[in-house]
């Protein structure tokens, strides 16, 4: 559990351990996050991300948005943002790309929204600092809770896979 919840206070970790010990973690997550999203293609994801982006950022353009099946394994991440600058003649061309881990195709809609908000915030704030998280909370007011529950969701998935082996 250290990798999933290492920066949280001990009382929260104890609560999670109680849920796990009582086999209630899966039930807690399913009761709280019931709605599944319908975004399963790269095109639908691009449309979804573009709509969210247009609500908060006017000056940033998105070149590419896609689900990526290699992200989790290679980068140990859930989403990636890349900013590529190229010189073309006497102009500087910038391209922003967002790649979302394929695990979000089957995740509850709130988790997809949280990771998209996280990656969109990187358009403006490159580092995970106070301004970055303030921006995330501006775009998704319960960002911290959804991020925490996503960690629980991933840990629950890990436990299921571990118990099936």
Whether 130 maps to a domain, the answer reads: yes
Domain count of the fold of the chain: 1
Whether 2 maps to a domain, the answer reads: no
- Tens-place pLDDT, residues 104-161: 999 999 999 999 999 999 999 989 999 999 999 999 999 999 999 999 998 998 888 8
How far apart, in whole angstroms, are the C-alpha atoms of residue 127 and residue 160?
Answer: 33
Whether 29 maps to a domain, the answer reads: yes
Whether 3 maps to a domain, the answer reads: no
Whether 146 maps to a domain, the answer reads: yes
Q: Could you tell me the pTM of the whole model?
A: 0.86
Whether 1 maps to a domain, the answer reads: no
- Domain extent for 96: 8-164
Whether 68 maps to a domain, the answer reads: yes
How far apart, in whole angstroms, are the C-alpha atoms of residue 35 and residue 48?
Answer: 16
DSSP per-residue string spanning 96-139: EEEEEEGGGGSSBHHHHHHHHHHHHHHHH--SSSHHHHHHHHHH
How far apart, in whole angstroms, are the C-alpha atoms of residue 159 and residue 105?
Answer: 20
How far apart, in whole angstroms, are the C-alpha atoms of residue 123 and residue 96?
Answer: 8
Question: Would you call 165 exposed, middle or buried from its count of C-beta atoms within 10 A (0-12, 13-18, 19+)?
Answer: exposed
Whether 153 maps to a domain, the answer reads: yes
């Amino acid at each position: 559990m250290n990798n999933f919840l290492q920066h949280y206070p001990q009382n929260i970790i104890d609560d999670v351990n109680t849920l796990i010990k009582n086999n209630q973690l899966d039930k807690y997550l399913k009761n709280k996050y019931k709605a599944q999203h319908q975004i399963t293609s790269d095109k639908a994801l691009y449309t979804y991300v573009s709509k969210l982006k247009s609500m908060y950022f006017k000056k940033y353009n998105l070149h590419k948005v896609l689900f990526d099946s290699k992200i989790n394994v290679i980068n140990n991440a859930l989403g990636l943002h890349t900013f590529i600058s190229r010189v073309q003649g006497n102009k500087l061309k910038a391209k922003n790309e967002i790649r979302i881990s394929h695990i979000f195709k089957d995740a509850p809609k709130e988790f997809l929204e949280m990771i998209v908000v996280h990656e969109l915030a990187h358009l403006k704030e490159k580092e995970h600092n106070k301004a970055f998280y303030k921006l995330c909370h501006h775009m998704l007011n319960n960002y911290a809770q959804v991020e925490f529950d996503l960690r629980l969701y991933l840990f629950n998935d890990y436990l299921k896979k571990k118990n099936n082996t």
